[in-house]
């Protein structure tokens, strides 16, 4: 499945970058076609549609009926609300993440159907404060992101057809990831032991490169 | 020591919130005194000065000579550059964190003396993308910090009197930490192999509880 990015300003373009880096497909929608065309050099695979992303027909053209998720990330909270509302009506099962400026609008965006609402001013402020008071942690995470390996915290869902097995029988060892935890029934088991029984529906949390993520996914496939 | 927040818009106010939450003191500087006065109800301890934060006298009045850090977080990159430059001249040892809009200005801010440069549009975009493609990871880090174990990313310095040894001879295994990387000559070696030679001055990076951190520190002491 692909993603739809509604709003292709600075924030939308950073979302696009991250999707590109992690090998995911997307369609961008923005009224400013010239601005999108100008990104083609930096984002060679860019597919975009010009127009208002809260327009049903445009969202349908962008493939909302079989998309995996919609980003409502214009710089305008009311427009984002309209996009969330329209997207939810067209495809109630789709995952929707919205951007918001004013904290007081977050709840409305959630009520309209956003699964997650994020304010760059808030997360940026937190990050700026952390970088002052916990400098090493932020710099490590930044370096990991920027490094050749492009390491990230990743979660991999144990597939439904996975036969439960003790963790050490899977031989989850690679230079490309480090296993951190397993999420089980909403609870996090940090640093699980060799005897830990991995089962369908659990989430494996690891620090991994894109290759490492692939390796982990493959390791969880049935033989 | 206290902190100085230059620029008290949405980002600056979120920095202030985080400092307040973690029981740290600060002085805010912004030209818009009315806007700061309006925050008094939400931030009862707020101390502020009205004016241009790149003005030497104002930074001196805010106590830059014995402050612990300066935040240059106005919405204008050139103004932030001027603040960084002025702060660095007045107190070369102070830690400075700057906000930037345009990625191309980040390097200039660093050259002017910023120890760390953060773009809310970038970090917000990353967070928005993560919230779509790795919804549990974001909550994982939050939960880890809040959980009983109080896990965080930690750095442990290998002591000067440590005799270089291959990593696996140290048997660094515990339920209380997961080894992630070693920082060596400014470079990060992710997921080091068993044969990796640990030596004085290197930094071991791990996700650890306070107990795990202690265990790691003890493991690196000479026999
Ligand atoms: Ca915002
Ligand atoms: Ca910005």
From the list B69, B125, B176, the residue facing A132 with the nearest CB is B69
Contacts of A118 (CB under 8 A, 6+ apart): A97, A98, A99, A100, B124, B127, B128, B131
Instruction: Confirm if A58 and A90 have CB atoms less than 8 A apart.
Output: no
Q: Do the beta carbons of residue B80 and residue B59 sit within 8 Å?
A: no
A-chain residues within 8 Å CB-CB of B140? 153, 155, 181, 183, 188, 205
pLDDT tens digit sequence for B104-143: 899 999 999 999 999 999 888 988 998 888 776 666 665 6
Tokens of B86: 């002025």
Note whether A205 contacts B15, CB cutoff 8 Å.
Answer: no
Q: Which of B12, B71, B191 to mutate to test the interface with A (most CBs of A within 10 A)?
A: B191
Chain A partners of B101 at a C-beta cutoff of 8 Å? Answer: 10
Contact A71 B190 (CB under 8 A): no
Model pLDDT, residue A136: 65
Q: List chain A residues with CB under 8 Å of B14.
A: 121-122, 124-126, 128-129
Instruction: Please report the pLDDT score of residue A122 as a whole number.
Output: 87
* Length in residues, chain B: 223
B186: left (phi over 0), alpha (psi -120 to 50) or beta: left
The CA-CA-CA angle for residues B140, B143, B146, to 5°, reads: 155
Supply the pLDDT for residue A55.
95
Q: Which residue of A has its CA nearest to B116?
A: A131
Mean pLDDT of A196-207: 93
Tell me the per-residue pLDDT of A116-167, one tens digit each, with 9 for 90 and over: 999 999 888 888 988 887 776 666 666 666 666 678 888 899 999 999 999 9
Cα dihedral A16, A20, A22, A24, rounded to 10, equals: 90
pTM: 0.72
Query: Kindly report the CA angle at A133 between A128 and A139, in degrees rounded to 5?
Result: 65
B205 touches chain A (CB under 8 A): yes
∠ at Cα A124 (A119, A130), nearest 5°? Answer: 135
Cα of first residue to Cα of last residue in chain B, in angstroms, is 38
- Mean pLDDT score across all residues of chain A: 90
pLDDT score of A111? 96
Q: Is the model's pLDDT at B48 over the cut of 90?
A: yes
User: Can you give the pLDDT at residue B138?
Assistant: 60
Does the pLDDT at position A21 exceed 90? no
What is the rounded average pLDDT for all residues in chain B?
A: 89
Taking the CA of residue B221 and the nearest CA in chain A, the distance in Å comes to 22
Query: Residue B220 is encoded by which pair of tokens?
Result: 């690196």
Distance between CA atoms of residues B128 and A121, nearest Å: 12
pLDDT (0 to 100) of residue B139: 61
Buried b (16+ CB within 10 A) or exposed e, A93-131: ebbbbbbbbeeebbebbbebbbbbbbbbbbbbbbbbbbb
Rounded to whole angstroms, the Cα distance separating A99 from B120 reads 12
Give residue A144's pLDDT.
Answer: 66
Residue B11 has pLDDT above 90, yes or no: yes
Nearest to B22 among A127, A133, A203 (CB): A133
The ipTM of this complex is 0.75
Structure tokens at A180: 């951190």
Q: Do A178 and B179 touch (CB under 8 A)?
A: yes
Element containing residue A116 per DSSP (H, E): strand A116-118
Which residues, 6+ apart, have CB-to-CB distance to A163 below 8 Å?
A222
Closest CA to B95 of B132, B64, B68, B58: B68
Chain A (143-172) residues lying within 8 Å, Cβ to Cβ, of chain B: 143-145, 147, 149, 151-155
| pLDDT band at residue A44 under the 50/70/90 scheme | confident
Ligand sitting nearest the alpha carbon of B99: 2
| Whether pLDDT at B185 is above 90 | no
pLDDT at B88: 97
Q: Of the candidates A86, A81, A83, A84, which has an alpha carbon nearest to the alpha carbon of residue A102? A: A81
């Amino acid at each position: 499945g692909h993603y739809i990015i509604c709003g292709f300003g600075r924030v939308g373009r950073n979302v696009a970058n991250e999707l590109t880096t992690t090998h995911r497909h997307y369609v961008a929608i923005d009224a400013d076609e010239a601005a999108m065309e100008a990104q083609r050099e930096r984002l060679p695979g860019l597919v975009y549609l010009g127009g208002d992303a809260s327009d049903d027909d445009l969202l349908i053209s962008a493939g909302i009926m079989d998309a995996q998720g919609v980003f409502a990330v214009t710089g305008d909270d009311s427009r984002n609300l309209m996009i969330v509302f329209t997207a939810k009506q067209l495809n109630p099962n789709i995952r929707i993440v919205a951007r918001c400026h004013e904290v007081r609008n977050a709840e409305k965006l959630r009520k309209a159907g956003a699964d997650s609402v994020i304010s760059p001013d808030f997360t940026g402020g937190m990050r700026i404060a952390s970088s002052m008071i916990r400098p090493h942690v932020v710099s490590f995470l930044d370096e990991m992101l920027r490094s050749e390996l492009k390491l990230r915290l990743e979660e991999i869902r144990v597939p439904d057809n996975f036969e439960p097995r003790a963790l050490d029988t899977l031989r989850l060892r690679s230079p490309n990831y480090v296993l951190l935890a397993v999420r089980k029934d909403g609870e996090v088991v940090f640093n699980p032991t060799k005897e830990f029984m991995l089962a369908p529906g659990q989430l494996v949390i690891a620090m991994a490169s894109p290759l490492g993520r692939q390796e982990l996914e493959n390791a969880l496939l049935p033989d």
